[in-house]
Amino acid sequence: MKYLHLVWTNLKRKKLRTSLTLLSILVAFILFGFLSAIKQALVGGVEMAGADRLIVRHKVSIIQLLPESYKARMERIPGVVLATHQTWFGGIYQDPKNFFMQNPVVPEEFLEMYPEFILPPDQKKAWEVTRTGAIVGRSTAERFHWKIGDKVPLQSSIWSQQDGSRNWTFDIVGIYDGAKKGTDTTAMFFRYDYFDEARRGWGKGKVGWFTIRVKDPSRAAEVAKLVDEEFENSDAETKTEPEGAFIQAWASQLGNVVLIVAAILGAVFFTILLVTGNTMAQAVRERTGELGVLKAIGFSNGQIMALVLAESCLLTVLGGVLGLGLAWLMISRGDPTSGLLPMFFLPTRDLFTGLGISIGLGLVTGIFPALLAMRLRVADALRRI
């Protein structure tokens, strides 16, 4: 630590060069932060999935509906604690660009199934007594400036009311928050009993998909098999899978996001590696004479090497910390695509990964100049002064 001053002074010698290098490292880590958040938004749902929850959908595809009566049959299957259902409503609020999910649910069951949605008790009560009541997540409420008591008109692309109208109006009775960072609070939920009575036509008594909770997550696969067997050879056969697998399959439909993100990050860090490595090599070359003097007055090879490595690591870690900090600030301002990426945030895990990478970057870029400095022969170095 006592050499910190020396390291710091060396960095300050060429202020312009050091700050430009620092800035390019900083930008690399802002990018790292952004890409982590994008990846999180696209594939991170898997981590939010409940280990004890299974999703039951129509075997042919999720757009086929299942009879609501399946619920009772599911709850009789051993190992199933609770079953509840949701249906895709496909409502448009003013403009199709204002996309968010709205689903009819059975309030009590639904809130029990998803403890990550936190609704104050009085709002929960209000929802239970208001037939046309709906609850909406914090981020969507803020996006459209909705308050409790507001009436929200939605135009459904799928469901029409008894009179043929596709315009539905819901009363906002509650605004829920997420229990965890990353809980999706963009969706709106309203009451299934109201929805089923009000809708017209073919869908009556049918729902989109079921979520079931199993008693023992380690036996989830067995329970899933039992559920599918229960409805085998019926008009609506089912496919049951853990919530995590369901979300993962959904995310992978977009394409291989993880690979694309990794490729971009690879390109970025390779570039930064070159820029920083080049700066360090230049710095050592310029200082050959001084390093010779240090050696002549008794600095060991190890100390010389440590000095150079400390300098490169200080530079990259400083850039890394500043970059990650800035990325975190920018990402906290929310989704840049206005609504397409509901789970856009920077996970703490990735902050630590970033810090690790910054140290690694310092070591890799510093190692060759450090070796160069270490192998320097005192006589040769001093001759250059």
Partner 1 sequence: MSGPVNWLSQVGAITKFGLMSIPQRRGAVAATVIGIAGVVAVLVGVLSIAAGFQKVMAVSGAPDAAIVLRSGADSEMVSGFGRDQTRVIADAPGVARNDQGPLSSAELFVIINLPKRSTGMDANVPLRGVEKAAWEVRDHMQIVQGRMFDWGKDEVIVGSGAAREFSGLEVGSKIKVGRYEWPVVGIFSANGAVPESEIWTDAKVLQDAYNRGDSFQSVRVRLNSPGAFQEFKDSLTSNPQLSVKVVRQSEYYVEQSETLTRLIRTLGFLIAFLMAVGAVFGALNTMYSAVAARTKEIATLRALGFGSGAVVMSLMIEALLLALAGGVIGGGLAYLAFNNLHTSTMNWQSFSQVAFAFQVTPQLLLRGMIWAAVIGLIGGLFPAIRAARLPVASALREL
The length of the chain in residues reads 385
- The strand pairing partners of 214, in sequence order, are 80
Contact, 266 vs 109, CB < 8 A? no
Strands 206-207 and 209-214: unpaired
Taking CB under 8 A as the rule, does residue 258 contact partner 1? no
Q: Give the residue, chosen from 256, 300, 301, 303, that forms a contact with partner 1 under the rule CB under 8 A.
A: 256
Residues 98, 123, 132, 155: which binds partner 1 (CB under 8 A)?
Answer: 155
Q: Of 133 and 244, which CB lies nearer to partner 1 in the complex structure?
A: 244
Based on the shown chain and the rule CB under 8 A, indicate whether residue 34 belongs to the binding site for partner 1. yes
Question: Burial level of 297, CB count in 10 A (0-12/13-18/19+)?
Answer: exposed
Residue 239 binds partner 1, judged by CB under 8 A: yes
Calpha distance 26→328 (Å, rounded):
13
Nearest alpha carbon to residue 225 among 77, 58, 83, 70 = 77
Decide whether 38 or 152 has the Cβ nearer to partner 1: 38
Based on the shown chain and the rule CB under 8 A, indicate whether residue 353 belongs to the binding site for partner 1. no
Beta-bridge partners for 9: none
In this structure, what token pair is assigned to residue 351? 């902050």
DSSP string, 53-80: EEEEEESS-TTS-EETTHHHHHHTSTTE
The answer to whether the beta carbons of residues 340 and 254 sit under 8 Å apart is no
Strands (E), 219-305: 238-242
| Ranges within 75-114 binding partner 1 (CB under 8 A) | 90, 92, 96, 99
Buried b (16+ CB within 10 A) or exposed e, 95-119: eeeeebbbbbbbbebbbebbebbeb
Binding segment for partner 1 (CB under 8 A), chosen from 1-9, 34-42, 144-152, 297-305, is: 34-42
Which residue's CB is nearer to partner 1, number 24 or number 132? 24
Residue of 49, 62, 118, 378 interacting with partner 1 (CB under 8 A):
62
Instruction: Find residue 238's DSSP bridge partners.
Output: 58
Beta bridge partners of 159: none
Instruction: State yes or no: residue 9 binds partner 1 (CB under 8 A).
Output: no
HSE (CB half, 13 Å, CA atoms) of 89? Answer: 32
Going residue by residue from 290 to 329, which x/- string records binding to partner 1, judged by CB under 8 A? Answer: ----------------------------------------
**Which one of 7, 10, 11, 35 is in contact with partner 1 (CB under 8 A)?**
35
In the bound state with partner 1, the residue whose beta carbon lies nearer, of 21 and 185, is 21
CB of 360 to partner 1, least distance (A): 18
Distance CA 341, CA 334 (A): 9
Residue reference for tokens 């320097």? 376
Number of residues that bind partner 1 (CB under 8 A): 56
User: With binding defined as CB under 8 A, does residue 264 bind partner 1?
Assistant: yes
Binding mask 163-192 for partner 1 (x = CB under 8 A): ---x--------------------------
Contact string 273-292 vs partner 1 (x = CB under 8 A): -xx-xxx-xx----------
Judge residue 263's burial from the number of C-beta atoms within 10 Å of its C-beta, 0-12 exposed, 13-18 middle, 19 or more buried: exposed
| Amino acid, res. 40 | Q
Among 78, 153, 205, 336, binds partner 1 (CB under 8 A): 336
If binding is defined by CB under 8 A, does position 354 make contact with partner 1? no
- Binding residue for partner 1 (CB under 8 A) from 69, 94, 157, 332? 157
Per rule CB under 8 A, is residue 4 in the interface with partner 1?
no
* Closer Cβ to partner 1, 57 or 295, answer by number: 57
Q: Enumerate binding residues for partner 1 (CB under 8 A).
A: 16-17, 20-21, 23-24, 27-28, 30-31, 34-35, 38, 59-64, 90, 92, 96, 99, 155, 157-158, 166, 233, 237, 239, 248-249, 252-256, 260, 263-264, 267-268, 270-272, 274-275, 277-279, 281-282, 336-337, 340-341
